[in-house]
Amino acid sequence: MIPEPSAGRPAGPQSPSAPEPLRCVLTIATSDSGAGAGLQADLKTFAALKVYGLSAVSAVTAQNSLAVTALECLSPAMVRAQLLALDDDFPIGAIKIGLLGNAANTRIVADFLREKYERGPVVLDPVMVSASGHRFLPPEAVEALKELMKLATVVTPNLPEAGVLSGLEIKSDEERLKAAEKLLALGAGSVLIKGGHGRGEAADDLLWGPDGPLWIRGPRIYTPNTHGTGCTLSSALAAYLAKGRSLPEAASLAKDYVTLGLRHSLKPGRGPGPLNHFHQYYLLES
């Protein structure tokens, strides 16, 4: 478990801990101009968990804490150029894939994974709809996403996304298990179905990996400031996998990190805010 941050503010600059091996983790995702989700959330998570974050931008959004007002995808050529440039220089220890925006960019990322990247884990977060209800992906992009799933070490849908991908309505733990089986049958290496969109006092995640199903238990944190929670969990999972943790251990540590981030969440704008990615370093009053 990640320790609970102490109350109040640190007295001053803290001495650095003992050096750790440098790990590079790449996020391929969309920019969130409000910086609570997307590649900004990924990079904050990487920094907080002491890995070096790299980024390839697939699309940009105009959004704030109230709504997404516009989305524009970069060209597939530009997405590929970013990936090749990063692969040419950095030892990429893990890749987190978020919102890619369209079918063309999804296929470009799939081609890159097949041609260039066989060194480490791939965490695919199949982002489809924003918390405010903005639908990001057209139907053809959803189909391309299903092909990308076959190249992922672990796919991390929330409950609505797992329902879309599996074609099932998920209202119980049994239905979540059936959805995970269907996603594995589509070719995903492992599946982590996040429980934040469920109901009740628990917000448990279901991990189905090579050793079968495993429930990652966690309390539900009642806060309106949940923007970027799914992005953050998936990027934390990628960071811990890059550090050599097993998939169950990485999933549990990522769950702890997000839970504490929600407990100390932020509200910088007028709408729902993000979790506090740096809760282990400082707390802020919203």
126, two tokens = 């199949």
Sheet holding 205-209, edge to edge: 68-73, 52-63, 24-31, 92-97, 122-124, 154-155, 191-193, 205-209, 212-216
Alpha carbon of 98 to those of 55, 56, 63, 132, 229: distances in Å? 11, 10, 17, 17, 12
What average pLDDT does the segment 216-236 reach?
95
Per-residue model confidence as pLDDT tens digits over 254-283: 999 999 999 999 999 999 999 999 999 999
In the prediction, which pLDDT does 22 show?
A: 94
Q: pLDDT tier at 129 (50, 70, 90 boundaries)?
A: low
Give the fold, CATH level 3, of 24-263: UDP-N-acetylmuramoyl-L-alanine:D-glutamate ligase (3.40.1190)
In the prediction, which pLDDT does 65 show?
A: 95
In the prediction, which pLDDT does 51 show?
A: 98
> Rounded CA gap, 36 and 175, in Å?
31
Please report, as a single letter, which amino acid is at residue 109: V
Q: pLDDT tier at 15 (50, 70, 90 boundaries)?
A: low
Q: pLDDT tier at 115 (50, 70, 90 boundaries)?
A: very high
214, two tokens = 């495993």
pLDDT surpassing 80 at residue 119: no
Residues 6+ apart with CB under 8 A from 185: none
228, two tokens = 């970027």
Per-residue model confidence as pLDDT tens digits over 81-109: 999 999 999 999 999 999 999 999 999 99
> Rounded CA gap, 78 and 67, in Å?
27
Give the largest Cα separation in the chain, rounded.
53
- Please give the share of the chain, as a percent, with pLDDT higher than 90: 77
In the prediction, which pLDDT does 55 show?
A: 98
In the prediction, which pLDDT does 140 show?
A: 83
- Please state the φ and ψ torsions of residue 55, each to the nearest 5 degrees: -140, 140
What average pLDDT does the segment 15-37 reach?
91
Residue with tokens 């750790």: 20
Range name among 13-22, 85-94, 172-181, 186-195 with the lowest pLDDT average: 13-22
User: Which comes out higher in pLDDT, residue 153 or 7?
Assistant: 153
pLDDT surpassing 70 at residue 8: no
Question: 16-54 burial string, b = 16+ CB within 10 Å, else e?
Answer: eeeeeeebbbbbbbbbbebbbbbbbbbbbbbebbebbbb
Cα–Cα nearest to 95, from 145, 46, 132, 141: 46
Positions marked active-site = 194, 226, 228-231
Q: pLDDT tier at 41 (50, 70, 90 boundaries)?
A: very high
| Planar angle of CA 285, 13, 48, nearest 5 degrees | 65
pTM over cut 0.95: no
Q: pLDDT tier at 210 (50, 70, 90 boundaries)?
A: confident
Q: Report the mean per-residue pLDDT for the chain.
A: 90
